[in-house]
Amino acid sequence: MLWHKAWIDTRWRFLIGLVVLVGLAIENVFYFSSAQTLNLGAVPGAAGWLADQLREIAHLSQSFGGYIWVQFVRQNLAQPWIILAALLGAEGLVSGRRGGLFTLSLPVSRSRLCAVRVATDLAELALLALVPMGIVSVVAPAVGHAYALADALVYGIGVFLGGAVFYALALWLSTVFNDRWRPIVISLAVAAGLIFCRNLTPALSAFSPVSVMAGESYFRTGEPAWAGLLAWPLVSAGLIFAAVRSIQARDF
């Protein structure tokens, strides 16, 4: 019953997010040939850091693997995924909008209630990271290219393990604030700040969660960012633990 309720509470966010991300994956694959004709380095008014970024994007987009990484993995997958993670987390472990008091009246412990909800959310987020990357591998032959399923798996795991911290942050914030929007806004503001820092100071943000999500280390060196892949799930676990303890201690 708990698993069914958790699925009912989250299914539309998950299903809509899955459709959007799969659609973006297919669109990016079929847009590859058009992207190769763009001369981003010659955009009027582009100079300095912006011109360098545009030239790098144009250069990477000449190969299918580089194009998928710079356009889809780093941007069109990671960034919407963060939004979906914040939306799921901000709904809270026990939402008043979805029969929270009824849920608490069930003859099960709060720790079990929280465990089922968190497990459901994380399973959905894992699918939102892995399925779109798998679609890239499946659809790539339709445009005359190949994309290794192993690479898709590595990038998908990176998106999930690195990005779970934004879900956990929104989840913890949902136990701090009574409304839904502040956890979403704060979580997304933190993500936006980290993305901005990654673009301006790549060396200082190499192990940030957004860099782990982007799989930059794997793309450039062939080695996953092991430190980030181990550290950020621990941070996520700590935030989730804090959220669960807050729910257990609260007098509803």
Encoding tokens for residue 96? Answer: 């008043």
Residue 244 has pLDDT above 80, yes or no: yes
Residue 41 has pLDDT above 80, yes or no: no
d(CA 79, CA 61): 19
- The set of residues, in sequence order, having a beta carbon less than 8 Å from that of 249 and lying 6+ positions away, is none
> Residue 92 — pLDDT band, cuts 50, 70, 90?
confident
Give the lowest-confidence range in 14-23, 82-91, 123-132, 192-201.
192-201
DSSP letter string over 168-209?
Answer: HHHHHHHHH-SSSHHHHHHHHHHHHHHHHHHHH-TTTTTTSH
d(CA 120, CA 2): 10
> Residue 60 — pLDDT band, cuts 50, 70, 90?
confident
Residues 140-164 have a mean pLDDT of: 94
pTM of full prediction above 0.85:
yes
Nearest-10 crossing angle of helices 78-90, 110-139 = 160
